[in-house]
Amino acid sequence: MKSLRLFYAFFFFVSSIAYGTSAWASAPQAQKSEAQKSEVQKDDGQKDNDQTLRAMRDEMERSKTRLELKIPGTEQPVRPYYVEYRLLDLDFREISGEFGTLLNSNHVRNRFMDVEARVGNYKLDSSNFVSDDGFRGFIGSTGSVGIDRDYDSLRQDLWIATDQAFKEAVETYSRKQAYLSSLARQSDINDFSKAEPVHLVEPLVMADWTNRNWDQEARDTSAALRAFPQIYESRVTYYLVFATEYLVTSEGTEIRTNRSFAAIESGMNALADDGMPINHFFATYAVRPANLPAPDAVRKSLNVTGSELMALRSAPAAQDYTGPVLFEARAAAPLLAQILGPAVNGARPPVSFTPVVEQLLSGLGGKSDWITRIGARVLPASVTVVDDPSAKEFQGTPLLGAYAVDDEGVRAQKVTLVENGALKSELMSRRPGPDFDQSNGHGRSAFLSDARPTMSNLFFSSKETISPPELKKKFLDTCREQKLAYCLIVREMDNPTISLLHQDDFQALLASYGGGAGTGDRLPLVVYRVYPEDGREEIIRGARLIGLNSRAIRNIGGIGNDNYVYNYMQSQGNGFAGTALGAFGSAQNGLPASIVAPSLLFEEVEVRGARGEPKRLPLVAAPPMTASNRP
């Protein structure tokens, strides 16, 4: 599907032709009187020389009172019923190393705006519509603005963007009405929900990079992989992010919040002796750069990951299998991220002009199987699932998904999604769904992307748990009862967004895998055969899990008491966000989240063995590499 952003310039051109002149009477005046300059000082950031909120507020007042469009043949001019200004002030560092050498070190400061205008009313408006031209009406104009927080410059940018967004909304609303009039039955679900205005202006926080030498750390940590000459390619990347987010709406919401996170992500690739591509990854996240692990700890973790990759390289290929599978906690948490992410989304999908969009959403797992099932059992009767944006840690381990107000200006709420196995609620943004029509503060987005119902800190717990040794014993007993030669343990799930270093490899994977994501195809990474007769374990490569969807987790054979905190990034990329692929995120474009979950035993899982054509091995052996990057 095409992104909205690809259509902005074209739509602005079309709107200008259709409506002739600007919807505004005039641009904002750059010269202001002394009386205007000495307006009543609200808590808008002026004390720290940040004129951003003041500029957004003043231009919003003009939008509310003066923005209208007179269309020939109509009596009443068209006005937006809702206008929203979002601005992201981003201070971003990215440092990458490979085998002890620095690949790049970038420090970028940018400010981006996004303007949304809605035409119509809360019941039916210009949003949530996919026409024959692609997505339309989710967001308005977007673009870069000056980084100096200058009042006049920002007002000028907002003026142009509002004009563009409003004209686009008018055109989209007309197309949507025409399409809906051709339907025999229209949806009775509103397009947008009302929300109480929120005023939250946090003190401005400057970026704190600490006194750590991040360039040298990238060199030192990436050098750990020199000990594995069979690794063809690797990359260790540090992401350090500080952001100030602004939101002003025509409903009266005014927000300035600060957010930060930091990450170390590493992908590494090799080839098995038979030419099968093998990949692995390491990732660790923190709420701020100072909390990232020290270089020695990162080197140790990379050494473990590299050793596992070497074991996978020489491991036998997986064979087709059906039987019990034990997911250790480190694998169970990301598995739940993939399954529950779409399932707990309560918003309805956009109105679609073409059935191809519906098919695509279903294939990618973008439609929840839990919609309209409130009160029904969706998980084992002992299980409760809670999403809590206010939680900051779990048993001393920091959680990434905490926030006070979501990206649509709604205060975050703790939501019990499943209680004693029964579905009680869903995550909601301001886009209503069949079951709920109000937001519960989970409309989240990254880098000014579309706000969607998204997990924050998810807790999967059970009243009936057993210790990991007892769970493994139950697993082996089940293997023996079924008289299987071996059974499978999954110790880690893959994240190809990080583990694959080339876009071509990633696209090839999606071509073979993406269509099955909605029906439960999953990508395990570290998988072991366990032989029940003697307990011997053997690592295998190339396995793929089949049919592990939201229906499969209704019955779980056993649940451990070894809760594991899985901090990760939810992808906000087009075609990924809100689908089963949304769990494949990276700090480069992702949204921080956490899942707390224990080990899980499934009594029957279908596993497909290795498939695909192997690659040709290099004609010449790799050059020798010393264990150190220093002469």
pLDDT over 90 at 59, yes or no: yes
| Rg from Cα positions in the chain | 26
Could you tell me the pLDDT band of residue 611, with boundaries at 50, 70 and 90? confident
What percent of the chain stands above pLDDT 70?
Answer: 86
Domain ranges of the chain: 4-24+42-92+107-201, 214-313, 321-608
Could you tell me the pLDDT band of residue 607, with boundaries at 50, 70 and 90? very high
Name the strand (E) or helix (H) holding 262. Answer: strand 254-271
The pLDDT value recorded for residue 480 is 96
pLDDT over 80 at 336, yes or no: yes
| Burial class of 483 by CB neighbour count within 10 A (0 to 12, 13 to 18, 19+) | exposed
When mean pLDDT is compared over 2-6, 33-37, 45-49, 92-96, the highest value belongs to 92-96
Across 128-137, 465-474, 528-537, least confident range? 128-137
Question: How does DSSP classify residue 85?
Answer: E
The pLDDT value recorded for residue 573 is 73
- Mean pLDDT over 141-151 rounds to 89
Topology at the third CATH level for domain 214-313: PmbA/TldD fold (3.30.2290)
Phi, psi dihedral angles at 256 (to 5 degrees): -135, 115
The pLDDT value recorded for residue 619 is 81
Across 176-190, 524-538, 595-609, least confident range? 176-190
Taking the chain, what is the end-to-end CA distance rounded to the nearest angstrom? 50
Could you tell me the pLDDT band of residue 475, with boundaries at 50, 70 and 90? very high
Question: How does DSSP classify residue 521?
Answer: -
The pLDDT value recorded for residue 628 is 56
- Mean pLDDT over 520-534 rounds to 95
Across 90-99, 395-404, 475-484, 581-590, least confident range? 581-590
Closest CA to 234 of 265, 280, 267, 281: 267
The pLDDT value recorded for residue 70 is 86
Phi, psi dihedral angles at 347 (to 5 degrees): -75, 145
Question: How does DSSP classify residue 282?
Answer: E
The pLDDT value recorded for residue 52 is 95
Name the strand (E) or helix (H) holding 36. Answer: helix 34-37
Residue 352 contacts residue 508 (beta carbons within 8 Å): no
| Burial class of 165 by CB neighbour count within 10 A (0 to 12, 13 to 18, 19+) | buried
Encode pLDDT of 395-429 as tens digits. Answer: 999 999 999 999 999 999 999 999 999 999 999 99
The pLDDT value recorded for residue 353 is 52
The pLDDT value recorded for residue 15 is 33
Across 48-57, 356-365, 484-493, 515-524, least confident range? 356-365
**What value does the mean pLDDT of the chain take?**
87
Q: Kindly report the pTM of this predicted structure.
A: 0.89
Encode pLDDT of 6-42 as tens digits. Answer: 333 323 332 332 223 344 444 555 444 433 433 333 4
Residue 448 contacts residue 142 (beta carbons within 8 Å): yes
Encode pLDDT of 257-308 as tens digits. Answer: 999 999 999 999 999 989 999 999 999 999 999 999 999 999 999 999 999 9
The pLDDT value recorded for residue 350 is 78
Strands of 179-253 (E only): list them. 199-201, 233-249
pLDDT over 50 at 125, yes or no: yes
The pLDDT value recorded for residue 76 is 84
pLDDT over 50 at 212, yes or no: yes
What is the spatial distance between Cα 17 and Cα 156, in angstroms, rounded to a whole number?
A: 22
Measured CA to CA in angstroms, residue 383 lies from 121, 416, 459, 461, 465 at distances of 40, 11, 10, 6, 10
What is the spatial distance between Cα 340 and Cα 369, in angstroms, rounded to a whole number?
A: 10
The rounded Cα 452 to chain-centroid distance in angstroms is 10
The pLDDT value recorded for residue 187 is 86
The pLDDT value recorded for residue 131 is 67
* Helix ranges (DSSP H) in 314-402: 329-343, 355-363
User: Which residue(s) pair with 69 in the sheet?
Assistant: 78
Strands 233-249 and 254-271: antiparallel
